[in-house]
Amino acid sequence: MKTLYKQYIIVTLIVIGASLSISMFFLGQLYNNQVRVDTDEKNVEIAQEVTNIVEIMPLKRMDEYFQSVAKLGYQIVVVDENMQSMFYGTKFSEMNLNEKMLALSGSTTIYHGIRDYKQKFSIMNHYANDVQNTVGVPFSLENKNFAMFIRMDNASSFTEMHYLIVGFLLISAIIIFVAMIFLARQLVQPLKKLQLATEQIAQENYDIDLKINRNDELGQLASQFQKMAQRLAENDQLKKDFINNVSHDFQSPLLNIQGYANVLKDAENTEEERVQYLEIIEQETKRLSALTKQLLLLSSLDQKNLPIEKKTFSLDQQLRALLFAKRWKLDDKHMELIYKVEPIEIYADQHLMEQVWDNLLTNAIRYSEVKSKIVVICTREEDAIVVSIRDYGIGIPKDALERVKERFYRVDASRSSQSSGLGLAIVTEIVGRHKGEFVIESELGKGTIVTVRLVDR
């Protein structure tokens, strides 16, 4: 398996190699089409100046003169009419003169060797230490014909500064390569940690600590990954708690139904006892039915992509109808109902909003004292519709205010038979799907105010 680290190194080396190759190609084209021609022309001008001076001096001083020119950093070859060669300055590695060079003496042409030399790869022709890689011009001295071939000495053209530049480039290349490896390691190490963390999460081990302290995108990724792991751990625990709670809430009424069904088999039961047991079975059956409906509703609300069926309806009429339906429960506890409901049209899911008001009113009545009162207010405030329901019942402790919105959470576990613990969770989900706000304010022993704020359109 190719690791990301190795791939990064290989790809980087390929990019560097390709960049160098492309650069060499374009430099070669520039050298062949421009630099080589210019260099050839400059050397021809120098050669002509040298021969012009030679032609006005005595033959016996020719050697002395060419030696002086060679000391200025040139390599020179002089060929006489008898094809004899004389060398001045540093000798060439390749000393073979071609036919054009041998035929130059006594002619009127110019030899463009620097321009036309193509024995090596592209730009490397410039550094070829070959006698053919020169320029040549003919000249005459005391009625004798000669040909001179000249070029700059490559060895003399490299000064201390050139060596410093080359050294600088080599050191820079080494530093860049080492830095590249270090950077690759720095990039790969956090990714390896994330990979190991992913494997742990796949095995349902959410207790991970990445320890990636970076201020870049990888640091942000690690931070979000850590939050995701924590959220998954919370969801996993919630799932386990949910299963436990559902099992408990289903088991309790089922055991009651089973128990009283067995008791009914006893022939010695009086008619009054039989009716009582049947009422309990009916009550537990209704409890199971209500719990099932709430679970199905929550399941559908959990599907965030499931659209809700919004339409315009009269909110005040919906509230009045529910208050009328709850009237018998209020009368049973001798409770007073105070309501102020403005005529308001709202665009929402009518069935879901009915679930909201039903759950909130049921809780308000259930946890209120006998001969207490409930206040319901529905009004419009700026661009929002606000419904508040206030009771003067037992209230909710401060440490439980937020948790009451959790599924199956009950402030008083002993009241589990009275409530499924799903009502406020359903309200929270429905209001959230409507982009609204659900707030609970309560004081232990003094009552509770629940407020639902919905955006008007």
The domain spans of the chain are 4-157, 202-306, 307-455
Identify whether the C-beta of residue 300 lies closer than 8 Å to the C-beta of residue 338: no
DSSP state, residue 268 = T
Query: Per-residue confidence of the chain (457 residues) as pLDDT tens digits?
Result: 456 667 777 777 787 778 777 877 777 777 777 888 888 899 999 999 999 999 999 988 999 999 999 998 899 999 998 888 999 998 888 888 988 898 898 888 999 998 888 876 667 777 788 899 999 999 999 889 999 999 988 766 655 555 677 778 788 878 877 887 887 777 777 778 888 888 888 888 878 777 777 777 777 888 888 888 888 887 777 677 667 766 766 777 788 788 888 888 876 778 888 888 888 888 888 877 777 777 777 677 677 666 778 899 999 999 999 888 888 888 888 889 898 989 999 999 898 899 889 889 988 888 888 889 999 999 998 889 999 999 988 888 887 777 777 776 666 544 444 556 677 888 888 888 888 999 999 888 888 999 999 987 6
pTM: 0.49
Give the Cα separation of 287 and 332 in Å (integer). 20
Identify whether the C-beta of residue 365 lies closer than 8 Å to the C-beta of residue 335: yes
| pLDDT value for 415 | 47
| pLDDT value for 414 | 44
Identify whether the C-beta of residue 324 lies closer than 8 Å to the C-beta of residue 359: no
| φ/ψ bin of 35: left (φ > 0), alpha (ψ from -120 to 50), beta (otherwise) | alpha
Fold of 307-455: Heat Shock Protein 90 (3.30.565)
Structure tokens at 182: 């270090």
423: amino acid identity, one letter: G
373-381 and 336-341 as β-strands: parallel, antiparallel, unpaired? parallel
Identify whether the C-beta of residue 392 lies closer than 8 Å to the C-beta of residue 370: no
| pLDDT value for 182 | 80
Give the Cα separation of 226 and 219 in Å (integer). 11
Q: On the CB side of 64, how many CA atoms lie within 13 Å of its CA?
A: 5
Radius of gyration of the chain (CA): 49
How distant, in Å, are the alpha carbons of 69, 108, 254 from that of 48?
A: 13, 12, 118
Among candidate residues 399, 300, 448, 391, the one with its CA nearest the CA of residue 438:
448
Supply angle C-alpha 274, 276, 280, rounded to 5: 115
| pLDDT value for 417 | 47
- Going by C-beta distance under 8 Å and a sequence separation of 6 or more, which residues neighbour residue 44? 110, 112, 135, 137
